[in-house]
Amino acid sequence: MVVERSADGVVVDVTHPYWYGKEGEEADSSSEALYLVTETDVERTSGDDVSPC
């Protein structure tokens, strides 16, 4: 979802569901991150750390 527009570009809020399992444990959740999108680049500016290992 676009959450902001400026001369620097467009800020997009992305929610991505995920699932993983390891050694009898399972997780079902989602992560959220903000990206700055310009004509030539995409930069992740903030968001959840997802590290199941």
pLDDT at 41 (0 to 100): 97
- The number of folded domains in the chain is 1
Give the other-Cβ count within 10 Å of 43's Cβ. 10
Long-range contacts of 14-20 (CB under 8 A, 24+ apart): 14/47, 18/50, 20/52
42 in a domain, yes or no?
Answer: yes
Does residue 24 lie within any of the structural domains? yes
- Domain assignment present for residue 53? The answer is no
27 assigned to some structural domain: yes
* Structural domain includes residue 43: yes
- Evaluate whether residue 52 is within a structural domain: no
In-domain check, residue 30: yes
Residue listed under structure tokens 């400026």? 6
Sequence-ordered list of residues with C-beta below 8 angstroms from that of 22, at least 6 positions apart, any chain? 52, 53
pLDDT digits (tens, 9 = 90+) for 24-52: 888 888 889 999 999 999 999 999 886 65
- Indicate yes or no: pTM above 0.85: no
* Cα distance between residue 24 and residue 51, in whole Å: 17
